[in-house]
Amino acid sequence: MAEQKYRCIVCGAIVTPNPDGTCPVCGAPREMLVPVDENGNDIEG
């Protein structure tokens, strides 16, 4: 089963966030991560 992935709007990476919700690549806060589907497309709503 796929985990929910997020796109970091700071560094642009598709990531699985750290346990605290931050970007594992650049350390951006969770507010900078938008949920995406398995293909990397934004999920609306």
Closer residue to Zn ion in complex, CB, 11/43: 11
Cβ–Cβ under 8 Å, residues 14 and 41: no
Supply the minimum distance, in Å, between the C-beta of residue 34 and Zn ion: 11
DSSP secondary structure letter of residue 7: E
| Residue 13: CB atoms within 10 Å | 15
Among 5, 7, 8, 22, binds Zn ion (CB under 5 A): 8
- Residues written for the chain: 45
Q: Is 23 in the site for Zn ion (CB under 5 A)?
A: yes
Among 5, 7, 22, 28, binds Zn ion (CB under 5 A): 28
